[in-house]
Amino acid sequence: MRERIRILLQTTIPKTPDDWHIGRFSLLRRFLEAQVDESGDRLFAVTARDRVGTDSDPVLSRLDEAEFDELWLFAVDSGDGLPPADCEGINRFHARGGGLLLARDHQDVGSSLSNLGSVGGAHFFHSRNPERDLSRRVRDDSDAEAISWPNYHSGRDGDYQRVTVLEPVHELLLNPASPSWMVDFFPAHPHEGAVGVPSGRRGGRAIATGRSLTTGRPFNLMVAFERIADEHGNQLGRALAESSFHHFADYNWDPQLGCPSFVKAAPGDAVRKYPGRLNDVKAYARNLALWLAPVSPRERMRTPRAAALASA
C-alpha cells in the first residue's frame, strides 16, 4: 500500500464564523479524502485548519519541519494574514520541494501572498504588485461598487464559466470523462483576482483563461510552476497561483451551503441545474493534488496525464 500524500488545507485567518474559514471548504476536503488509486487505497491524507496566533502560526512558521507534502493556502485575509515567520516557514517548505497552491480573490484580498517568493509574485493586487498592463488597472465588475480592480467578472457565484485551455494542454486540465477530454467548466465568481508569470521567473506559464462577462476581456485563471532549482541550488516544488479561492469554496460548489453575511449578490442556479459540470473542477482538484506532490523515494505517484490515459 502506498503512503498517502499529505495535504494541508489552510486559510490565512483565525476561525471566524462569519468569514471564509476553512469549514467553508468542506466539500473539497471530503472529495480529496475519498480519492483512491487503482488498488482502492486512499490517495490523500488531508488536514484542514485556520491560522492560529498573531506573530506566527505554529504550523506555518515551521512548515518545513512538518510531515506535509503540499500546502493549499486559501488567502482570504485583507492583507495581513501572513506574518514574516509564517512566510519564512512556507518559503523553506517550498525550497525543500513541497508543493504549493496559492489562491486569493479580488483587489487586495490575500495580498499577504506577495511575500511568498516568485509564486507569490504571480499574484497581482491593487495596492501591491499591480498588473503591468496599465489598461487592466480598471474595475471590471461594475456591480460591486465597493470592490476595485482587479475584479474580473466571470459570472455569479453558483454559476459556471467557460474555461479556455491554453496550448500546450497542461496535464492539470485533463478530464477523460469530459467529451473534450479537458476541463471545460469552472465555478464562476463575480470578482476574480489577477495572476500571471512574474518577471524573471523560469518554469511558469498561464495554462487556462476565463473571460469577463462585462467587458469580454480574457484573464488568467491559473499559473503553473514546474520544479526548478533556485539561485541557492534548492529544488523548488511545483506550485500553482489561482485567481480565486472561490473555485474551491463550498458556496461555489453548492450555494445552498451558504456564505458570509457580507456577500450581498444573489447566487446563480446553474450548479443546481447542471451538477455534472462540477466534475470538471473535481477532476482538476484531483489532478492538482497528484501533480503538486514531491517526487521522492518515499512516494512516486503516477502523473495525472498517465492516470488519465490509463483510465480512458
Give the CATH number, domain containing residue 294: 3.40.50
Average pLDDT, stretch 41-52?
97
Q: Residue 182 in contact with residue 174, Cβ under 8 Å?
A: yes
Number of domains present in the structure of the chain? 1
Quote the pTM value. Answer: 0.93
Instruction: Specify the pLDDT at position 297.
Output: 39
Confidence of residue 199 (pLDDT cuts 50, 70, 90): confident
Instruction: Specify the pLDDT at position 296.
Output: 58
Cell digits of residue 176? 477523460
* Segments forming the whole domain that contains residue 189: 5-311
Q: Residue 62 in contact with residue 93, Cβ under 8 Å?
A: no
Distance CA 111, CA 150 (A): 12
Task: Give burial (CB, 10 Å; 0-12/13-18/19+) of 179.
Answer: exposed
Q: Residue 132 in contact with residue 141, Cβ under 8 Å?
A: no
Closest residue by Cα to residue 307 from 154, 174, 153, 147: 174
Q: What letter does residue 54 receive in the DSSP assignment?
A: S
Task: Select the more confidently predicted residue: 205 or 306.
Answer: 205
In the predicted structure, residue 305 carries a pLDDT above the cut 50? no
Distance CA 226, CA 213 (A): 31
Residue-wise pLDDT for 124-168, tens only, equals 999 999 999 999 999 998 888 889 999 999 999 999 999 999 999
Q: What is the mean pLDDT of the chain?
A: 92
